[in-house]
Chain A
């Protein structure tokens, strides 16, 4: 059974010259999200996308809710271009919703000017038809609970539901970035937030077996699977970080170990970014959350970055990040008890205010270029779908 969905997009509509570009990407993403269904037809009209699909309504809506750029999804009914058909369809649309004790108004759009009645007249007739046939319904043209939308184009459409989509911009319209993904709560959320702004992400995970177990790696793959629901696919880069970690652990000063480690992670991630055509890094850092995320620590980490480092949750409280994680479905995976970097390397008292001078001095003991190569020697690429 074919179902029709009207899709509204928000921000894209505000774009000027580039609007067709954004719309094209969005249509492509919608088709990709619905690729498992039969008979997909996606059409663009002015400020709307029409989507005809064969498939269970709930599943289709679930998929569309994960397409960035979509502001709302409205399951719609089609009708003939005559008033009887429009009225009957409006009545059945209304009967599908919980209308009792609610207020409503009818809104008509008539791009098809060959239709004899004007928009306000259509609205009035449809409204009257609904009022006479339904109990407990009131009109309120200013703040209605339910807005019945009638569109008169080459065919007629009636709908009243608006299911919110994720908003944002279509994925890929804003380039690509490498996400430093740990098994924690924050980094998947940071990834999601950038994806919402149209940035494709390539996650990098630093695996340090035997200091962490292979279960930690599985956990990160599971996190990628959740994020991939929004993008259709994802390429995870698993860096074998053990030798780098050992070298740092052996020669580095305890209290700076975390900072040195993070600087190495940035260096290695940048190399991977260059390989995959990514132009920025994304981290889940939130200022002041832990010792390695104080202003000074962030400065020390940032110093080695040659490209922008996006930190979308920088100003979020832990609770706010947790709420978002729950919303996008990564929270339950993130809290599984497999540490992403064993506590062995976390000193009793890390320096919370590392000075760059001290950091530089500590790094003199290492051949940084060689160490970066060591980290890149064994990178496993996993296609997550």
Chain B
């Protein structure tokens, strides 16, 4: 059976080259970078190399990159670390209603601890309005956190404008969760106007359990953990050597191929989107609705990620469709758990004002450059058949 993995925003397959490097690190260069002997120095060099690769990819200094256990930790470290260290300057925080839970729940916790939080809403296509951000900013705002690319619908947020807005406030730090953007789209050159930015390894064909946080040179944040003082005291704990080297290798690959991979994914996405919307009745696009011209010209106005497509199949249930596709070797994710309960429903689609039926029938397809047009066409054919089949049973 053909296997079509369309769940690359959940996680990705590690590239062979990445896995090989990690194997070598685990078996040959297994020293602790803190050790004084040769084995330690060897390991330290490998970390430095990985740090340089990532810094170069982001257009920042190596000393501004801190390794963490992944996106969740990077987000927690940035938000809590900044909020606690800036507390004497103000008590107001801003984020959006469509963030990943690792951001949203962190803000909810800070709210319980007495911070005042403003949640910016999103429009029907999943965009946050910078006008609303401008209005929400106060003299005592110490932190704003906005995601770069929404993980469910693929909207690219106006990060540059947001940075310009926030920059008017001297005491306001700007954190960006770039887990779904890094390695997929070009980021703001030199991360201008961004104080902190989170990235993760396993979304870009690297290993799980490794991520990084960019923290601008003069920004001071409090660490989450106490310990041996690694990563300039910001993130204690013996360095995850295979993870760090694997992440470095994955970043190298992603940035060498950024524009070609992006073009491949754009074309795949366009084909998948157009065919589904045209050939399957009662389907609704969730997310940015820009008509991408398939010529691959990277116009600056494009505000949708090349790898995420979210579509509702009305009169079906996402979870049933997911399992049906699974039996054909196609792997996707849903906008919500199969339940009539509100809790299971996607907070992103809810914030975008989608109807319960649209939310219950939502499927997220997330692409990789390693898929072919045949994979896409096979998926569409299966969808055409199975969506009709499921609609026979689901009472509307």
Residues of chain A within 8 A (CB-CB) of B395 are 254, 344, 347-348
Q: How far is the CB of A349 from chain B (nearest CB, A)?
A: 11
Q: How far is the CB of B365 from chain A (nearest CB, A)?
A: 17
Q: How far is the CA of A35 from the CA of B317 in the complex (A)?
A: 48
Residues of chain A within 8 A (CB-CB) of B392 are 246, 249-250
Stretch at the interface among A93-101, A137-145, A205-213, A324-332: A205-213
* Contact indicator A339/B339 (Cβ below 8 Å): yes
Q: How far is the CB of A38 from chain B (nearest CB, A)?
A: 40
Contact with B along A313-350 (1 / 0, CB 8 A): 00000000000000000000000010100111101100
Q: Which of B324, B327, B393 contacts A250 (CB 8 A)?
A: B393
* Among A211, A347, A348: residue with most chain B CB under 10 A: A211
Q: How far is the CA of A344 from the CA of B324 in the complex (A)?
A: 14
Tally of contact residues, B, Cβ under 8 A: 17
Q: How far is the CB of A161 from chain B (nearest CB, A)?
A: 46
* Contact indicator B326/A210 (Cβ below 8 Å): yes
Residues of chain B within 8 A (CB-CB) of A343 are 338-340
Contact with A along B306-326 (1 / 0, CB 8 A): 000000000001011111101
Q: How far is the CB of A344 from chain B (nearest CB, A)?
A: 5
Q: How far is the CA of A254 from the CA of B392 in the complex (A)?
A: 12
Top 3 A-B residue pairs of the complex, sorted by shortest distance between their CB atoms: A210-B323, A210-B324, A249-B393
Q: What would be 25 A-B contacts, judged by CB atoms less than 8 Å apart?
A: A209-B327, A210-B321, A210-B323, A210-B324, A210-B326, A210-B327, A212-B323, A246-B392, A246-B393, A249-B392, A250-B393, A254-B395, A337-B337, A337-B339, A342-B317, A342-B319, A342-B320, A343-B338, A343-B339, A344-B393, A344-B394, A344-B395, A345-B393, A347-B395, A348-B395
Select from chain B the residue with minimum beta-carbon distance to A343.
B340
Select from chain A the residue with minimum beta-carbon distance to B324.
A210
Residues of chain B within 8 A (CB-CB) of A246 are 392-393
Q: Which of A337, A344, A347, A348 contacts B317 (CB 8 A)?
A: A344
Residues of chain B within 8 A (CB-CB) of A344 are 317, 320, 393-395
Tally of contact residues, A, Cβ under 8 A: 18
Residues of chain A within 8 A (CB-CB) of B319 are 213, 342
* Contact indicator A209/B323 (Cβ below 8 Å): yes
Residues of chain A within 8 A (CB-CB) of B322 are 210
Select from chain A the residue with minimum beta-carbon distance to B340.
A343
Contact with A along B363-396 (1 / 0, CB 8 A): 0000000000000000000000000000011110
Residues of B within 8 A of A (CB): 317, 319-324, 326-327, 337-340, 392-395
Select from chain B the residue with minimum beta-carbon distance to A246.
B393
* Contact indicator B338/A342 (Cβ below 8 Å): yes
* Among B322, B323, B324, B392: residue with most chain A CB under 10 A: B323
* Contact indicator A339/B338 (Cβ below 8 Å): yes
Q: How far is the CA of A75 from the CA of B209 in the complex (A)?
A: 49
Q: How far is the CB of B340 from chain A (nearest CB, A)?
A: 6
Q: How far is the CA of A342 from the CA of B324 in the complex (A)?
A: 13
Residues of chain A within 8 A (CB-CB) of B339 are 337, 339, 343
Q: How far is the CA of A124 from the CA of B320 in the complex (A)?
A: 74
* Contact indicator A211/B337 (Cβ below 8 Å): no
> A200-257: which have CB < 8 Å to B?
209-214, 246, 249-250, 254
Residues of chain A within 8 A (CB-CB) of B317 are 342, 344
Residues of chain B within 8 A (CB-CB) of A348 are 395
Select from chain A the residue with minimum beta-carbon distance to B317.
A344
Beyond the given pairs A209-B323, A211-B323, A211-B393, 13 more chain A to chain B contacts, judged by CB atoms under 8 angstroms and listed by A's residue number, are A210-B320, A210-B322, A210-B323, A210-B326, A212-B323, A213-B319, A213-B323, A214-B323, A246-B392, A337-B339, A339-B338, A342-B319, A344-B320
Select from chain A the residue with minimum beta-carbon distance to B394.
A344
Q: How far is the CA of A213 from the CA of B395 in the complex (A)?
A: 20
Residues of chain A within 8 A (CB-CB) of B326 are 210
Q: How far is the CB of A340 from chain B (nearest CB, A)?
A: 12
Q: How far is the CB of B1 from chain A (nearest CB, A)?
A: 15
Q: How far is the CA of A339 from the CA of B344 in the complex (A)?
A: 13
Q: How far is the CB of B382 from chain A (nearest CB, A)?
A: 12
* Contact indicator B320/A211 (Cβ below 8 Å): yes
Q: How far is the CA of A337 from the CA of B395 in the complex (A)?
A: 22
Q: How far is the CB of B250 from chain A (nearest CB, A)?
A: 30
Residues of chain A within 8 A (CB-CB) of B321 are 210
Q: How far is the CA of A211 from the CA of B339 in the complex (A)?
A: 12
Select from chain B the residue with minimum beta-carbon distance to A212.
B323
Select from chain A the residue with minimum beta-carbon distance to B344.
A337
Residues of chain A within 8 A (CB-CB) of B327 are 209-210
Q: How far is the CA of A213 from the CA of B317 in the complex (A)?
A: 13
* Among B322, B393, B394: residue with most chain A CB under 10 A: B393
Select from chain B the residue with minimum beta-carbon distance to A209.
B323
Select from chain A the residue with minimum beta-carbon distance to B337.
A337
Select from chain A the residue with minimum beta-carbon distance to B325.
A210
Q: How far is the CA of A337 from the CA of B338 in the complex (A)?
A: 10
Residues of chain B within 8 A (CB-CB) of A337 are 337, 339
Residues of chain B within 8 A (CB-CB) of A211 are 320, 323, 393
Residues of chain B within 8 A (CB-CB) of A345 are 393
